[in-house]
């Protein structure tokens, strides 16, 4: 077959719409790749942590990442607002001397806030608890299924810890959309420069109305912070 025929066949394949199964397979492959990359990044982070360092896990859920951080001997503070997930977190890490568990959400202000659950929360609490959010308008969220939780001012927490320690070694942030306001506020307060490594899962897909702000944030951060310090592609 000559070259023009090959190019025509490639063009035809590109124009042919993917089936739903093919689209799901592609999304699954991308998720698996991001997971592998994130876990590799985390392995590098844990290799650098040592006793006396401080690691903050925001959106700790049941403690998978917190457990890995705790094994380094670093001081770990884990924040998890969902009562169900916090009970699992406490069962896993409640007896660790270098781990502090905090049953609260983090944000750019303090008070009490509504934590909304996923629409399938009552059917599968373990899997659905990772989707609980304090941000309105989330995809697959049942706004009527909520609990009121404490909200902590993370800017003050960071400022106090930086003043006490000089820097924060590691921050992991997976807080289901609330990261947008918080990252903007952290940047405006010039707090990120004193965090050795910050990894964040952003949730553009979950909050369609926030996508322009997420794009602007990504563009600004890519110019201001090296990816080895600020990674916005956490899983």
Instruction: Give the other-Cβ count within 10 Å of 85's Cβ.
Output: 22
Question: Quick one: tokens of 120?
Answer: 């399938």
Query: Bigger pLDDT: 22 or 172?
Result: 172
In the prediction, which pLDDT does 36 show? 83
Question: Quick one: tokens of 169?
Answer: 């070694």
Question: Quick one: tokens of 216?
Answer: 């602007």
Helix or strand run (H / E) with residue 164: helix 154-165
Q: What is the mean pLDDT of residues 18-27?
A: 81
Measuring CA to CA, which residue among 235, 203, 202, 205 is closest to residue 221? 202
pLDDT of 83 > 80? The answer is yes
Q: Are 57 and 172 in contact (CB under 8 A)?
A: yes
In the prediction, which pLDDT does 25 show? 85
In the prediction, which pLDDT does 2 show? 56
Q: Are 176 and 80 in contact (CB under 8 A)?
A: no
Q: How confident is the model at residue 17 (pLDDT cuts 50, 70, 90)?
A: confident
Query: Bigger pLDDT: 190 or 36?
Result: 190
In the prediction, which pLDDT does 145 show? 94
Query: Bigger pLDDT: 158 or 9?
Result: 158
Give tens-digit pLDDT for 26-68: 877 877 787 788 788 899 999 999 999 999 999 999 999 999 9
Q: How confident is the model at residue 13 (pLDDT cuts 50, 70, 90)?
A: low
Q: What's the CA gap between 229 and 80, in Å, rounded?
A: 24
Backbone angles phi, psi at 116, to 5 degrees: -95, 140
Our measurement of the distance from residue 191's CA atom to the centroid of its chain's CA atoms, rounded to an integer in Å, reads 18
The per-residue pLDDT of the chain, averaged, comes to 92
pLDDT of 9 > 90? The answer is no
Give tens-digit pLDDT for 156-179: 999 999 999 999 999 999 999 999
Q: Are 93 and 70 in contact (CB under 8 A)?
A: yes
The pTM assigned to this predicted structure is: 0.88
pLDDT of 1 > 60? The answer is no
Give tens-digit pLDDT for 118-145: 999 999 998 999 999 999 999 999 999 9
pLDDT of 4 > 70? The answer is no
Q: Are 66 and 49 in contact (CB under 8 A)?
A: no
pLDDT of 84 > 60? The answer is yes
Q: What is the full DSSP assignment across 55-93?
A: EEEET-TTSHHHHHHHTTT-EEEEE---HHHHHHHHHHH
């Amino acid at each position: 077959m000559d070259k023009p025929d090959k190019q025509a066949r490639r063009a035809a394949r590109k124009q042919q719409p993917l089936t739903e199964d093919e689209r799901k397979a592609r999304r699954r492959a991308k998720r698996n790749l991001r997971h592998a990359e994130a876990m590799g990044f985390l392995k590098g982070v844990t290799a650098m942590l040592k006793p006396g360092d401080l690691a903050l896990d925001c959106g700790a859920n049941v403690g998978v990442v917190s457990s890995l951080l705790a094994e380094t001997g670093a001081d770990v503070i884990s924040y998890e607002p969902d009562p169900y997930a916090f009970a699992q977190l406490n069962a896993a890490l409640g007896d660790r001397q270098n781990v502090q568990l905090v049953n609260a959400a983090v944000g750019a202000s303090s008070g009490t806030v509504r934590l909304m659950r996923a629409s399938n929360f009552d059917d599968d609490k373990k899997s659905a608890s990772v989707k609980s959010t304090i941000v309105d308008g989330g995809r697959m969220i049942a706004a009527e299924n909520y609990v009121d939780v404490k909200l902590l001012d993370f800017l003050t927490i960071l400022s106090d810890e930086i003043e006490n320690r000089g820097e924060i070694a590691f921050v992991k942030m997976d807080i289901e959309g609330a990261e947008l306001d918080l990252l903007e506020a952290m940047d405006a307060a010039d707090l990120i420069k004193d965090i050795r490594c910050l990894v964040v899962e952003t949730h553009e897909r979950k909050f369609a109305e926030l996508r322009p702000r997420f794009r602007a944030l990504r563009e600004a951060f890519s110019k201001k912070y090296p990816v080895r310090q600020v990674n916005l592609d956490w899983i």
